[in-house]
Amino acid sequence: MTHYVIALSGGLDSTTLLAYILRYLDEDRSRIIPVHFQYGSKHNEYEEDAIADVLAYYGIVHSRLRTIHLEEVFSNMKSSLLKSGGEIPEGHYEAESMRQTVVPGRNLIFMSIMAGIAESVDCDRAVVALGVHEGDHAIYPDCREEFIASAEQTILHSTDRKVYVYPPFLRFNKKKIVRWGTENMVPYILTRTCYKDQPIACGKCGSCQERLEAFASQGLTDPLQYESREILPKSPPGAE
The one among 32, 205, 214, 232 contacting Zn ion by CB under 5 A: 205
Query: What residues form DSSP beta bridges with 197?
Result: none
Is residue 50 part of the contact set for Zn ion (CB under 5 A)? Answer: no
Q: How many chain residues are in contact with Zn ion, going by CB under 5 A?
A: 4
As a whole number of Å, the CA-based R_g of the chain is 17
CB 117 within 8 A of CB 3: no
Q: How far is the CB of 100 from Zn ion (least distance, A)?
A: 14
Q: How far is the CB of 211 from Zn ion (least distance, A)?
A: 9
Q: How far is the CB of 197 from Zn ion (least distance, A)?
A: 10
Specify the residue, 32 or 205, whose C-beta has the smaller distance to Zn ion. Answer: 205
CB 83 within 8 A of CB 41: yes
Specify the residue, 149 or 189, whose C-beta has the smaller distance to Zn ion. Answer: 189
CA pair distance 219, 29, nearest whole angstrom: 33
Is residue 19 part of the contact set for Zn ion (CB under 5 A)? Answer: no
Specify the residue, 10 or 167, whose C-beta has the smaller distance to Zn ion. Answer: 10
Specify the residue, 90 or 134, whose C-beta has the smaller distance to Zn ion. Answer: 90
CA pair distance 225, 9, nearest whole angstrom: 18
Specify the residue, 31 or 192, whose C-beta has the smaller distance to Zn ion. Answer: 192
Query: What residues form DSSP beta bridges with 166?
Result: 129
Q: How far is the CB of 89 from Zn ion (least distance, A)?
A: 10
In this chain, which stretch among 30-38, 163-171, 183-191, 202-210 interacts with Zn ion, using CB under 5 A?
202-210
Question: For residue 198, what is the DSSP state?
Answer: S
Q: How far is the CB of 15 from Zn ion (least distance, A)?
A: 17
Residues with Cβ within 8 Å of 195's Cβ and at least 6 positions away in sequence, in order, are 41, 42, 43, 81, 88, 101, 205, 206, 207, 208
CB 192 within 8 A of CB 200: no
Is residue 224 part of the contact set for Zn ion (CB under 5 A)? Answer: no
Task: Please report, as residue ranges, which positions from 128 to 187 form the binding site for Zn ion (by CB under 5 A).
Answer: none
Specify the residue, 218 or 228, whose C-beta has the smaller distance to Zn ion. Answer: 228
Is residue 51 part of the contact set for Zn ion (CB under 5 A)? Answer: no
CB 208 within 8 A of CB 194: yes
Is residue 208 part of the contact set for Zn ion (CB under 5 A)? Answer: yes
Is residue 232 part of the contact set for Zn ion (CB under 5 A)? Answer: no
Is residue 81 part of the contact set for Zn ion (CB under 5 A)? Answer: no
Task: Please report, as residue ranges, which positions from 177 to 196 form the binding site for Zn ion (by CB under 5 A).
Answer: 194
Q: Is 94 exposed, middle or buried (0-12, 13-18, 19+ CB in 10 A)?
A: middle
CB 148 within 8 A of CB 132: yes
CB 9 within 8 A of CB 133: no
- What are the residues binding Zn ion (CB under 5 A)? 194, 202, 205, 208
